[in-house]
Amino acid sequence: MLYINRKAGTVVSAFLFAEVLIISGCIKNEQVEAPADEESSNAGKGDEDMDIQTIKVFSSAFESNSTIPRKYTCNGENINPPLEFANIPEETESMVLIMDDPDSSMNPFTHWIVWNIEPVAKIEEDSIPGIEGMNNFRKIGYGGPCPSSGTHRYFFRVYALDRQLELKAGAGRKELESEMIGHIIAEGELMGKYGKT
């Protein structure tokens, strides 16, 4: 009996010793991995905290939140309105313009996308300021407001980028937005309204 008890005691001791090793190993692993997790989460926060400046966007053709003149719609000459910008950052390499209608059933309906616009203070009426892409009318270039019913809002969204984009003319909005990721240093918008008459 004494021999059996000693053997049992040895087995119990061995189990206890193994358990201590496993626990201490886990603790050591936790201490090693914690700093790495903190470092990676801080890197992510750094990207989120990147400041995006504000560009002021306005037009001599209409005020913000007011009616876009018929001339610039599908019921008129269907040409782009003049747009002006203020507070473009000095480090801007190119600009992007996206005009869309969030009140459309397509939500949003894209009317105009242009990229590699020179960082200038003005886009002239009836002009092609950069490389144009495909709109939701399935045409390349500007397509003016053309709501089927009611009054819709139209946003002219402007983005300043820290580089030129390597996109071919006729590319779609998804391709454009994908290329813009991580390169926007400033943005702004102008909203106008139009209802079919």
Q: Which residue has the tokens 């309204």?
A: 193
Q: Within this chain, do residues 40 and 61 fall inside the same structural domain, yes or no?
A: no
Distance of alpha carbon 132 from alpha carbon 156, whole angstroms: 15
Q: Which residue has the tokens 């005691």?
A: 9
> Which pLDDT belongs to residue 51?
85
Q: Within this chain, do residues 139 and 176 fall inside the same structural domain, yes or no?
A: yes
> Which pLDDT belongs to residue 4?
43
Q: Within this chain, do residues 35 and 102 fall inside the same structural domain, yes or no?
A: no
Q: Within this chain, do residues 86 and 149 fall inside the same structural domain, yes or no?
A: yes
Q: What's the structural domain count of the chain?
A: 2
Q: What domain range is 115 assigned to?
A: 53-195
Q: Within this chain, do residues 142 and 100 fall inside the same structural domain, yes or no?
A: yes
> Which pLDDT belongs to residue 91?
96
Q: Within this chain, do residues 116 and 191 fall inside the same structural domain, yes or no?
A: yes
Q: Within this chain, do residues 18 and 72 fall inside the same structural domain, yes or no?
A: no
> Which pLDDT belongs to residue 197?
65
Q: Within this chain, do residues 72 and 169 fall inside the same structural domain, yes or no?
A: yes
Q: Considering 50, 65, 82, which residue would you say is the last residue of a domain?
A: 50
> Which pLDDT belongs to residue 13?
47
* Total Cβ atoms within 10 A of residue 101: 21
Q: Within this chain, do residues 143 and 161 fall inside the same structural domain, yes or no?
A: yes
Give pLDDT tens digits along the chain (197 positions): 444 444 444 444 444 444 434 444 443 333 332 333 333 333 333 334 468 999 999 999 999 999 999 999 999 999 999 999 999 999 999 999 999 999 999 889 999 999 999 998 899 999 999 999 999 999 999 999 999 899 999 999 999 999 999 999 999 999 999 999 999 999 999 999 999 76
Q: Strand, coil or helix: what is 96?
A: strand
Q: Within this chain, do residues 62 and 42 fall inside the same structural domain, yes or no?
A: no
Distance of alpha carbon 76 from alpha carbon 111, whole angstroms: 15
Q: Strand, coil or helix: what is 7?
A: helix
> Which pLDDT belongs to residue 16?
42
- List the CATH number of the domain containing 119: 3.90.280.10
The pTM assigned to this predicted structure is 0.74
Q: Within this chain, do residues 92 and 29 fall inside the same structural domain, yes or no?
A: no
User: Which residues 6+ apart lie within 8 Å of 120 measured at CB?
Assistant: 85, 129
Q: Within this chain, do residues 64 and 45 fall inside the same structural domain, yes or no?
A: no
> Which pLDDT belongs to residue 30?
36
